Structure 1
Amino acid sequence: MKKALITSALGLAAVSAHAQSSVTLYGIVDAGIGYQSSQTSLGSTTGGRSAVKMVNGIWGGSRFGLKGSEDLGGGTKAIFQLEEGFNGATGAQSVTGLAFNRQAYVGVTNPTYGTLTAGRQYTAYYTLLSPYSPTTWLTGAYGAHPGDIDSLDTLYRVNNSLVYTSPNFHGLTASGSYSLGGVPGSFNAGSTWSAALQYLNGPFGIAAGFQRINNSTPGGGAWGADSTMSNGGAQTAVSGINNGYQTAQAQQRVAVTGGYAFNSQWDVSFSYSNVQYIPGVNSAFRNEAIFNTAGAVLHFKPLAALDLAAGYSYTRATQSNGITSAAHYQQFNLSQYYSLSKRTGLYALEAYQRAGGQTLAPNKAGTSTSIINATANVGDGQNGAPSSSRSQFAAGVGIIHRF
């Protein structure tokens, strides 16, 4: 009898332990048709042609993932997330060679003490500023600030990262992150670190953050493979906007985002960012380059199933490296989203950008730069194929399903 009771108790304990753990499989599949005017290769200012093509992950990046938690007692839980991005049109990995390129982390969370995670993940800067990013309603592909130069879209994921986020204290949340470069002889080389604050009070919210990204190559130059914010040695988010500054020794970003909901139908968000590309002795440019961007998005929900949004942003660079007419970019965006159900939706997107002034482009060897006319680069979906002229128009329609 005693043995039976013990066996029964152990069985109940196993059931209880199982009930306190959870693992969820989730994902998104997003596919559509897009049009882009004046498409050329990065760094070229000639030969632009329009293109109609199948587009993938425009409203929400196609992905699948696993996330879960285990109750450790006392309110503390162990948590993990593994997330892989893929191309729904071809089935290929979104980043070759990275099985879980979007996120791969493990950590612990407690409602009193906060959350600490380790692995490949987003920085504190992005996580707290992103609720008011232009990408929320305009998407990153068409609606991110030109080239996503201010890292308010999901392109900037960081390896070897430790992230701490505090509990919400009367509307205030703080977060900090540090990513170890692991370069022998240097604690700083290749590292990425950031800090951010977010305050929420009813219909109003605001966030501010700082982020620094260090090249693991001493003195700048080719982006080192040990740089924590890179994909296999390639610098993240190189575009027609920052192509001439990709050999920087470091990048710094300071940004403020916020928003206000007027009622259940209307809300507005705003953002400002200051981005600095800092040269080293091996960089192909010699003077610090600074880009300032300001933008706003107006969101309208006339029906329960319909979301409409319009956005505008203005980006302006400083005069440096021999440039006397600073590059500037104006971008206009519209979006329409119709919910067929809680999990499935149809969308349409339109964007136009006009560039002016001058910027830098690297030569073929990447060891020096030349001054060229600034060319348009709508959002970040056109980073590898910007315009060959000062103007670019992009539009797309598609379907998205979440599971």
Structure 2
Amino acid sequence: MKKALATSALGLVALGAHAQSSVTLYGIVDTGIGYQSSSTSLGSTTGGHSAVKMVNGIWAGSRFGLKGAEDLGGGTKAIFQLEEGFNSASGAESVSGLMFSRQAYVGVANATYGTFTAGRQYTAYYSLLSPYSPTTWLTGAYGAHPGDIDSLDTLYRANNSLVYTSPSMYGLTVSGSYSLGGVAGSTNAGSTISGAVQYLNGPFGIAAGYQRINNSTPGGGAWGANSTTSNNGAQAGVSGINNGYQTAQAQQRVAVTGGYAFSSQWDVSFSYSNVQYIAGTNSSFHSQATFNTGGAVLHFKPLTALDLAAGYSYTRATEANGISSAASYQQFNLSQYYSLSKRTGLYALEAYQRAGGQTLGTNGKSIINATADIGDGQNSAPSSSRSQVAVGVGIITRF
């Protein structure tokens, strides 16, 4: 149960607490059991074996956080949010060395003028496109487009970010974000720029966005710790899908998502994305690689306590860097969620992916057969073969 606590009662600011200030403590604990076929280490195409293991944060990432607001008068309030992810199976931090790995920002909000925040947070691209992401009902671990290549799940949180989001005007919302790279002598290296627009009209909604992430090393090469979307010095979102393009000078994404609710029981969402890995003078690969993905999810709610969903996505790369048979990935997903209460539920997830064609190996030069990598929950342990199956069951509770 979410608990709104007076700031003074929480003991964070005992003196000078404003009468209209509040702090909310909240969280999610999600733990289950998962099966994955043909699991191997990232970059390897041999030795794959099936695995059954305890899994964490499959339906929604386990976390705890604090968020608060203080009325500044004139319709304006100061806001903040601190959110940490953790592994409920082991108690470990979700990202080693980051105390608030999910979000850490402060800002101001006004119903007339919009919201401006600064800190570690989601980009404008993700925030406005995510309501129609496949992860809404299929989860990111199993249902994100292969490897979350188009950043429609939560892998790409950006450090040093300034984000502005407008109020909704006749159903239209716009947002923009810029993340400072912090590289001496360069305002572009390591930075992230993003913009998005969203339109809502009754049962219909649509959003479009742009996002560019620049390597902290000009010209590409090893993705340095200064890059705004790096996690503890490592590049975010590396998977069996894009492993050969880690040394890109920049990643660029353009995407459109949308949805329509036919009734209180049926709704459908769709998404299309174009992802580019741009080569620089220091990149291991020499030509731009482009991945196009299209997908759709059908959600059905036959009972008040039961949600069912089915999804499909198709991803295809371009023929570049000596590749004559472009990599492709077809992914099929099913999900079932049963609410035990408003805060607690049981879930089951099933996914299958089939890869085809060729891609680049870890060194960014050798051409290898494309291998399967379901969603983004298997990024560190993709399949060693063309196919992969993943099944998971679990329990989630919110407070």
Q: TM-score range by the shorter chain?
A: over 0.9
- The question of whether the paired residues in 1 share the 8 Å contact of 2:307 and 2:337 is answered with yes
- The question of whether the paired residues in 1 share the 8 Å contact of 2:357 and 2:370 is answered with yes
- Paired residue secondary structure (2:141): helix
AA in 1 matched with 2:209: G
Q: Deviations over 1:40-90 (max 9, x none)?
A: 011111100000000000000000000000000000000000000000000
- Give the stretch that moved more between structures: 122-131 or 217-226: 217-226
- Equivalent position of 1:223 in the other structure: 223
AA in 2 matched with 1:252: Q
- Equivalent position of 2:384 in the other structure: 388
- Equivalent position of 1:326 in the other structure: 326
AA in 2 matched with 1:379: G
| Alignment partner of 1:377 is 2:377 | no
Q: Deviations over 1:291-349 (max 9, x none)?
A: 00000000000000000000000000000000000000000000000000000000000
Shift of 1:369: 1.8
Larger-Rg structure: 1
- TM-score, length-scaled by structure 1: 0.95
- Equivalent position of 1:201 in the other structure: 201
Partner Cα distance (2:42, 2:68) in 1: 40
Partner Cα distance (1:361, 1:369) in 2: 7
Aligned pair count reads 386
- Give the stretch that moved more between structures: 226-235 or 270-279: 226-235
| Alignment partner of 1:360 is 2:360 | yes
Shift of 1:182: 1.2
**Where does the alignment leave 5 or more consecutive residues of structure 2 unmatched?**
1-13
| Alignment partner of 1:32 is 2:32 | yes
Partner Cα distance (1:15, 1:161) in 2: 30
Q: Deviations over 1:122-159 (max 9, x none)?
A: 00000000000000000000000000000000011000
Partner Cα distance (1:218, 1:156) in 2: 20
- Equivalent position of 1:341 in the other structure: 341
| Alignment partner of 1:399 is 2:395 | yes
- Equivalent position of 1:77 in the other structure: 77
- The question of whether the paired residues in 1 share the 8 Å contact of 2:178 and 2:192 is answered with yes
Matches within 5 A, 1:4-403: 18-363=18-363, 368-403=364-399
- The question of whether the paired residues in 1 share the 8 Å contact of 2:95 and 2:232 is answered with no
Partner Cα distance (2:26, 2:307) in 1: 24
Partner Cα distance (1:15, 1:249) in 2: 49
- Paired residue secondary structure (2:361): strand
- The question of whether the paired residues in 2 share the 8 Å contact of 1:28 and 1:63 is answered with yes
Shift of 1:362: 2.2
Could you tell me the percent identity over the aligned residues?
85
- Paired residue secondary structure (2:366): strand
AA in 2 matched with 1:399: I
- Paired residue secondary structure (1:239): coil
- Paired residue secondary structure (2:125): helix
Shift of 1:225: 1.1
Partner Cα distance (2:293, 2:341) in 1: 36
Shift of 1:224: 1.1
- The question of whether the paired residues in 2 share the 8 Å contact of 1:284 and 1:362 is answered with no
- The question of whether the paired residues in 1 share the 8 Å contact of 2:292 and 2:316 is answered with yes
AA in 2 matched with 1:121: Q
Partner Cα distance (2:233, 2:98) in 1: 12
- The question of whether the paired residues in 2 share the 8 Å contact of 1:204 and 1:259 is answered with yes
Shift of 1:15: 12
AA in 2 matched with 1:398: G
Q: Deviations over 1:263-314 (max 9, x none)?
A: 0000000000000000111101000000000000000000000000000000
- Equivalent position of 2:4 in the other structure: none
- Paired residue secondary structure (1:126): helix
Q: Deviations over 1:197-221 (max 9, x none)?
A: 0000000000000000000112111
Query: Could you say if the C-alpha distance between residues 394 and 142 of structure 1 is closer, same or farther in structure 2, counting changes exceeding 3 Å?
Result: same
Query: Could you say if the C-alpha distance between residues 325 and 302 of structure 1 is closer, same or farther in structure 2, counting changes exceeding 3 Å?
Result: same
Partner Cα distance (1:345, 1:15) in 2: 40
Q: Deviations over 1:339-398 (max 9, x none)?
A: 0000000000000000000000123xxxx5200000000000000000000000000000
Partner Cα distance (1:280, 1:344) in 2: 48
